Amino acid sequence: MTQSLDTKPQTQELRRLLAGFECAMLTTVDDDGTLHSRPMSICNEIDNDATLWFFTLDNSHKVVDIEHHQQVNISFSEPNQQRYISILGTAQLTKDRNKLQGKWQHKFQTWFPKGINEPNLALLKVKVNKVDYWESSSSSSPQTISFLELSHR
């Protein structure tokens, strides 16, 4: 019997690590090799296959970056609790109307005033490949969770 992705320890640990975070820094690579970071509000739900979701506009600079370089980094920080997370993933854009409606939350209205009917509204789907994290000041070395074996099933 195979273990469902929902019960994979890696996905459970990722959910635990990201609990309480609402905002992340998403870093993309521009055509000239420079890195661009910007704050993004994360959709609270993490899919069973370790996929993160972010709302965006399909004509934004980050989307152009991702069309050329799908590798992204997402970082989370909570200095007061000595908690830091760095995620390496592969991003792609989707405009699937059912996904948009299913992931929509009222908090996104701040950035997309027309809500789900915002022109050019899309989702960034980020498939998590690797997570490095630090949870206390007692360790300078990160702990790592690899999701690569999940993608080969």
Chain centroid to CA 58: how far?
Answer: 17
Instruction: Over range 1-15, report the average pLDDT.
Output: 67
Stated pTM of the model: 0.85
Q: Give the whole-number percent of the chain exceeding pLDDT 90.
A: 65
- For residue 79 the two structure tokens come to 């200095």
| pLDDT of 134 higher than 60 | yes
CA 49, CA 4: separation in Å to the nearest integer? 9
